[in-house]
Structure 1
Amino acid sequence: MKCPFCGHDESQVVETRLSEDNTSIRRRRQCSACDKRFTTFERAEVTMPAVVKRDGRRVDYQRHKLRESVNLALRKRPVKTQDVDDAIARIEVRLLSQGSREVPSHQIGEFVMRELQNLDKVAFIRYASVYRSVDDIEAFKLLIDQAHAEGK
């Protein structure tokens, strides 16, 4: 591992532990040349399935798009960042556990709605109203009833 400070190729691992989200290994390293310390993360490389859009296009899965979508629904809501990280991790586990090389985008949307329903009812309604193209008050009322009924 190259030192980010001096570029030297050798460093020693001083400490190893699981990351906070238990999905990677955090290593503290010390450069053999300049003695400065830095942190690296080791994560298993997995191939996420391709996303099949409604129009049939296939695109690479992009974690940041999922996070942006969830964060937009949760905007100004009292939900901890760790809870959001955990929800995204659960969605990704579901995607990987299917074992498919492709996943329809609507299935990801359903996974997001399930997680948002558990995190924050208002965020669930925000997301679901856009995702399901709710355009009248009766459809909105059904969403609210669904959020209330499944929250019990």
Structure 2
Amino acid sequence: MLCPQCGLSETRVIETRTSDGGKVVRRRRECPSCSHRFTTYERVEERQVLWVVKKDGRRESFDRCKLLRGLMRACEKLPVPLDVLEDAACRIEGKLRERESGEVLSMEVGDLAMDELRRINKVAYVRFASVYREFTDLSNFAAEIARLIEEREDKHDNH
């Protein structure tokens, strides 16, 4: 694997972990020349193209990197490790690929992303929801936050 810092082709693996139920291999690597550390992911290449149907009817192929960028943007400046978001993106993609149809609505992708973010970080969830649901004023934010507070209180009451 080429070092992204200096281009040396002989980097060494210092840690290997699996995620997403063994479907993804995450490797921490280090360059012996410049000591730069970086992470690589190995996954099976899917043969079936998964199509996402947008709100306006356009179709585009599913892009896990685009999904991950959206999750990362929602978590900017929050203490959420990248591997947690990688695992979330893998779970979302896995759920989408389990369906019989090779097409999914963009709304379904967004709903799954919101479910993951709700579990990972509530602030990231509200950020994502504000863009995804197109919040137009403070009352939309207030309603979503009130819903989260109610969920938390319900959990505490049931425990």
Shorter chain as denominator, the TM-score bin is 0.7 to 0.9
After superposition, the Cα gap between the structure-2 partners of 1:48 and 1:76, relative to the gap in structure 1 and judged at 3 Å, is farther
SS at match of 2:18: coil
Q: After superposition, what is the alpha-carbon deviation per residue over 1:58-93, rounded to whole angstroms, capped at 9, x for unaligned? A: 101111100110000000111122211111111011
What is the deviation of 1:106? 0.8
TM-score by length of 2: 0.69
SS at match of 1:103: strand
Q: Tell me what 1:23 maps to.
A: 23
TM-score by length of 1: 0.72
CA distance in 2, matches of 1:41, 1:77: 23
User: What is the root-mean-square deviation in Å for CA atoms of aligned residues?
Assistant: 2.7
After superposition, the Cα gap between the structure-2 partners of 1:138 and 1:48, relative to the gap in structure 1 and judged at 3 Å, is same
Q: Structure 2 matches for 1:120-135, cutoff 5 A?
A: 120-135=121-136
Q: After superposition, what is the alpha-carbon deviation per residue over 1:104-148, rounded to whole angstroms, capped at 9, x for unaligned? A: 101100000000000000000000011111112221111112223
Q: Tell me what 2:52 maps to.
A: 51
CA distance in 1, matches of 2:77, 2:42: 33
What is the deviation of 1:45? 2.9
Q: Structure 2 matches for 1:1-152, cutoff 5 A?
A: 19-21=17-19, 22-24=22-24, 43-46=43-46, 47-151=48-152, 152=155
What is the deviation of 1:25? 6.1
What is the deviation of 1:42? 6.4
